[in-house]
Amino acid sequence: MLLSFALLWWAGAPGCPGCYEVTLPRPAQAEIGRARKPGLTLAGIHRKLNLRRAAAKGWGRSPEGTPVWRVVIRSTGAAGLRVHIAGLAPGKGRLWVYDAAAAGSSRFGPYTAEGDRQGGDFWTDIVEAERVVVEYRPTGTAKILPFSVPEIAHLFLEPLAP
């Protein structure tokens, strides 16, 4: 089941001025209830994303003049986020994630398809924020996004008891 979400362009994110933003509303109790497993503490939930619009709108230029794709993903009320990257093609570029409120703090990456990233499908490190920037820098000048972001993990401030 796809979750409802809002898409908006955010012109003033401190860590990513001018970035396109995808916002997921606070998880509903029904969504949390579906994620619960009997006898287990719930630390977070997976939330589906659709970044088709963001794939085209996230492109810009780095200070060095090279292409860069940046999108802010917000999951309202999250204490932390992890991003699922799928299909990152080897040799196509590097990817980082960081807190949208403070560029440079809690910055993780670069992630590439080489090494331990099986087939370019992996989860990023946890960014302790409700808004995360996904930044991708291709190796060439082509503005092609060689991966998808099918979902995020929304982590709760306090784990929810069974």
Q: Residues 93-113: pLDDT tens digits?
A: 899 999 998 765 778 999 987
Distance CA 82, CA 39 (A): 24
Distance CA 98, CA 118 (A): 22
Distance CA 64, CA 69 (A): 14
The SS3 assignment for 32 reads helix
120, pLDDT greater than 90: no
Distance CA 134, CA 72 (A): 6
**Predicted pLDDT at 153:** 97
Between residues 72 and 41, the one the model is more confident about = 72
**Predicted pLDDT at 17:** 76
Distance CA 123, CA 152 (A): 9
pLDDT tens per residue, range 36-70: 888 888 899 999 998 888 888 899 998 889 999 99
Domain 13-24+41-160, CATH class in plain words: mainly beta
The structure's pTM equals 0.86
